[in-house]
A = this chain, B = another copy of it.
Amino acid sequence: MLPWKTIIQMQKDCDTPVYLQIANSVIHEMRKGRVGPGLKLPGTRQMAEILEVHRKTIVRAYEELDAQGWIEMHPSKGTFTSKELPEINGRHFTKNHNQNAFPKTTGYHVKVNTGIRTPVLPLRHIMGFHDGPDMRLIPSDELGRAYKSVLSRNTYLKFMSYVETPGVQKFRATLSEYLNASRGLQTTFENIIVTRGSQMALYLLSIVLFAKGDTIIVGDTNYYYADHVFLLAGMKLARIKVDEYGIDVDAIEKLCRKKKIKALYITSHHHYPTTVTLSAARRIKLLSLAEKYGFIIIEDDYDYDFHYLSSPMLPLVSADTKGMVVYIGTLSKTIAPAIRTGYIIAPENLILELMRVRQLIDTQGDPIMELALIEMFEEGHIKRHMKKALLAYHKRRDFLCGLLNEKLGDIIDFKTPDGGLAIWAKFHKSIPLPPLTEKLKAKGLILSNGLIHNTSSVSMNATRMGFGWMNEEEAAQAVDLLAQTIRSK
């Protein structure tokens, strides 16, 4: 007889009833081929004795196995494992068997995609020049109340089920109103598809608009995760220099004369990563080039809401009468990265095609979050937050820039950015960033080594230093540590 006492695994303090644990153990062994087909099982009384459980438990276990077709119970002959289960070679029972651990690797080849960087663990619990909004400023209590309120309304129950593919209509209407007022647009909710942050917006566009081999113009240097979305779609990147007025529009014109350009990707408001704003003259020329040469402008306006000098320039899309611009925005910077609510603004025919593909990638959005955000807009929490945050970040920018000039002016070359939450900091070549940032990390201070911003043609000793994340006290401490580490070299 098989060593049933060893084979059958039971645990007390387990949520699964004992009879089910027994049945599952038997099934497990049959699956592994270690208990073969047509095998006679001990009677219920005998098995109960072996396993030291009540006989009724064994009766229920056998009934369960019978119901699932694993065993056959013959009143006269006894209980047998089902004959229809094919014997599996090489899976014989061994004495020192254990529940198998989960497979360490796949049984088939998985291509390692070295083209895309390995995701890194965010270390936001450690002090640092993190690029992004300060979580201590976000209206989290208001958000908590909004969520609770949404989930306690019976009239909202239908939103807990399947909802509209492009986002809850009322949320799109709210967004449309906000965008029209703040960005000089004339959209309706039908020009909007809500996405998971601006990243999904970019990805969706890459699938719907582009084909393998298409050429897209991007800045040199450009946002890493945008470049790689286009590369994943099989596109060719045409890199164009970015200077202090933004991307070089004359160079774009020259390129367009030479070859067919399918699209251009631009963070016009604050070029990522260098923070420069595309000048008014270049904006107008860019639009007319798009019309003339028929290329699509993907305008990623990820941080429109953070501008300190004067009110931000209106986005390109606001002057687009021919439907050449697709506009991407997000609330992930405005509120918090965890609020992964982005959107695409486009003519309706494109929105429809984006909806089709969105069904396959991500059935629908998050109606609970969308309804909570409607409340946040309607109650004025978002506007109040933006005002408060803008003031705080303005002060933090000035404070950090002042400190850096004072203490590290000879090492770090930068311009005070007009907006956004980070400084584009070019470090003196005598202080290479990778070893410096390693040293800082060991001391508990995070600074990106900036390698992600290099391209095949541009290699810089530069990085983005976030000024939004730390208050003045923290920034002073961080700059001290940075200066100390650099000077002690």
A-side residues, CB < 8 A to B, are 14-16, 20, 23-24, 27-28, 30-33, 63-64, 67-70, 82, 84-86, 88, 99-108, 110-113, 116-119, 121-122, 124-125, 130, 132-133, 135-136, 138, 140-141, 143-145, 147-152, 157-166, 181-182, 184-188, 191, 196-197, 199-200, 203, 207-209, 225, 228-229, 232, 279-281, 283-285, 287-288, 290-291, 294-296, 309-311, 313-314, 318-324, 336-340, 346-350, 352-353, 355-364, 366-369, 383
Contact B14 A181 (CB under 8 A): yes
CB distance from A109 to the nearest CB of B (A): 9
Q: Which of B86, B130, B140, B149 contacts A157 (CB 8 A)?
A: B140
- A318 and B159 in contact, given A16-B181, A356-B117, A363-B340 (Cβ under 8 angstroms): no
Within the complex, the shortest CB–CB distance from A112 to chain B, in Å, comes to: 7
- Tell me whether B151 and A140 are in contact (CB under 8 A): yes
A442 to chain B minimum Cβ distance, whole angstroms, is 21
Asked if A337 and B162 make an inter-chain contact with CB atoms under 8 angstroms apart, the answer reads yes
- Inter-chain CA distance A342–B24, complex, in Å, is 25
- Asked whether, in the complex, the Cβ of B366 is within 8 Å of the Cβ of A281, the reply is no
Q: B151 to A143, Cβ gap below 8 A?
A: yes
A199–B140 touching, CB < 8 Å: no
Complex CA distance for A151 and B139, rounded to whole angstroms? 9
The reply to whether A85 and B281 contact each other, CB–CB distance below 8 Å, is yes
- This chain: copies in complex: 2
Q: A284-B88, A320-B103 are in contact. Are A364 and B340 (CB under 8 A)?
A: yes
Further pairs besides A16-B182, A67-B310, A229-B360: 15, Cβ < 8 Å: A15-B181, A27-B313, A31-B284, A67-B309, A105-B347, A106-B296, A108-B296, A110-B349, A118-B356, A119-B355, A121-B164, A135-B161, A159-B338, A199-B360, A366-B369
Is B184 a contact of A160 with CB atoms below 8 Å? no
Q: Which of B161, B203, B225 contacts A122 (CB 8 A)?
A: B161
Q: With the chains together, A280 CA to B84 CA distance in Å?
A: 9
Task: Check A64/B347 contact, CB under 8 A, given A122-B164, A164-B122, A318-B28.
Answer: no
Q: Give Cα distance in the complex from A355 to B321, angstroms.
A: 39
What are 19 A-B contacts with C-beta separation under 8 Å? A14-B181, A23-B311, A63-B310, A68-B280, A84-B280, A99-B186, A100-B321, A103-B321, A104-B323, A108-B294, A108-B295, A108-B296, A117-B356, A119-B166, A144-B152, A160-B336, A160-B339, A199-B361, A207-B232
